[in-house]
């Protein structure tokens, strides 16, 4: 009995058919581009199901480039061409346009085939649909940004918290040192707030804190101004590039804005409405002054305002 034999051409043909079957049964889309002509010599039929473009329409790299979202096109093409010219394998993520105008995230994994002399012969690779992965990553980034906002935001009043103030105070202090501009602080305390809480209850006390914070935040109206809650019933306004007169005006404006809210306070020692006491100060930051020392100085002015009768602004030290 003789054993049938296969010549090498039959084996090669069979191997080729097996490889193609394997490639075309995966979700990854195989492709090959001839470097000299910049034309596709092969692309998997899965491309039509994924992007909607017929397999026969992928003729040259221009077809590939034109089906990249314009916003991503130049950087993607420039990167892939540069890496290929250097003979370097690479990956590229970009948004591709489907035949019906939708967008999908694609990852191209590219292998550069070189001749013995090192010149580029062709590019072969796989396209992967990574849309779901990108959407998940975007969701994570969004959640991280929201968490960062919460990290620097007072959950009760909605203004910045002590952590945000400490961070921006250091930044604005350094900027003021570099530019020679004045920096002002206003430290604010709600008058007789314990009595307010005792009389109206903590829920209404929380609402009072929110309304006071809103008035203070409206008073510090420029984009770089910051209103932050230091804790309890104490707030601070950080006012970059603000001289003494302008800081005093901001403090007066905040008191007027609060007065317009007409928050009743039956147990106040200075009237029938909620009021605040304020310490105000301005400095030209330098290496000779510590920012914490300056903040303590303004805090002392606040307590001078409180000990002097409350519902007032103190901008000098006695």
Catalytic residue positions, numbered: 233
Q: For the purposes of burial, counting CB atoms within 10 Å of the CB of 139, is it exposed (0-12), middle (13-18) or buried (19 or more)?
A: exposed
In DSSP terms, which residues pair with 240 in a beta bridge? Answer: 183
Q: Round to whole Å and give the CA distance between 192 and 201.
A: 14
Residue given tokens 């829920």 in the structure block: 203
Instruction: Locate all alpha helices (DSSP H) within 220-243, ordered by sequence.
Output: none
C-beta of residue 271 within 8 angstroms of C-beta of residue 212: no
Closest by alpha carbon to 223, among 172, 154, 167, 277?
Answer: 172
- Give the tokens for residue 184: 């002002």
Q: Round to whole Å and give the CA distance between 214 and 57.
A: 60
CB within 8 A of 177, min separation 6: which ones?
A: 285, 286, 287
User: What one-character-per-residue DSSP string does 5-22 give?
Assistant: ---HHHHHHHHHHHHHHH
Q: Round to whole Å and give the CA distance between 21 and 44.
A: 10
Q: Which helix (H) or strand (E) holds 81?
A: helix 70-85
**Cα–Cα distances in angstroms (integers) from residue 85 to residues 111, 126, 282, 318, in the given order:** 12, 19, 60, 75
Q: Is the CA virtual torsion 144, 145, 151, 155 positive or negative?
A: negative
């Amino acid at each position: 009995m003789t054993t049938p034999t296969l010549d090498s051409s039959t084996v090669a043909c069979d191997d080729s058919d097996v490889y193609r079957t394997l490639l075309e049964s995966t979700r990854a889309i195989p492709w090959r581009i001839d470097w000299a002509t910049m034309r596709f010599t092969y692309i998997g039929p899965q491309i039509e199901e994924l992007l909607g473009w017929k397999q026969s329409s992928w003729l040259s790299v221009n077809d590939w480039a034109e089906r990249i979202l314009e916003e991503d096109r130049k950087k993607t093409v420039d990167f892939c061409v540069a890496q290929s010219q250097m003979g370097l394998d690479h990956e590229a993520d970009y948004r591709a346009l489907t035949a019906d105008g939708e967008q999908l995230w694609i990852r191209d994994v590219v292998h550069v085939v070189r001749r013995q002399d090192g010149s580029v012969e062709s590019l072969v690779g796989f396209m992967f649909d990574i849309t779901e992965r990108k959407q998940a990553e975007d969701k994570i980034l969004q959640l991280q940004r929201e968490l960062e906002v919460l990290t620097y935001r007072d959950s009760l009043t909605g203004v910045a918290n002590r952590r945000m103030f400490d961070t921006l105070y250091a930044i604005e202090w350094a900027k003021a040192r570099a530019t020679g501009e004045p920096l002002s602080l206003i430290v604010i305390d709600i008058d007789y707030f314990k009595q307010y809480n005792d009389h109206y209850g903590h829920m209404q006390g929380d609402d009072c804190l929110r309304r006071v914070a809103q008035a203070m935040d409206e008073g510090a109206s420029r984009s770089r101004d910051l209103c932050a809650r230091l804790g309890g019933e104490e707030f601070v306004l950080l006012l970059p590039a603000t001289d003494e007169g302008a800081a005093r005006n901001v403090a007066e404006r905040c008191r007027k804005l609060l007065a317009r809210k007409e928050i009743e306070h039956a147990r106040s020692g200075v009237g029938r409405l909620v009021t605040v006491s304020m310490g105000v100060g301005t400095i030209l930051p330098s290496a000779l002054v510590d920012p914490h020392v300056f903040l303590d100085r303004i805090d002392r002015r606040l307590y001078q305002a409180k000990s002097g009768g409350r519902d007032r602004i103190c901008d000098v030290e006695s």
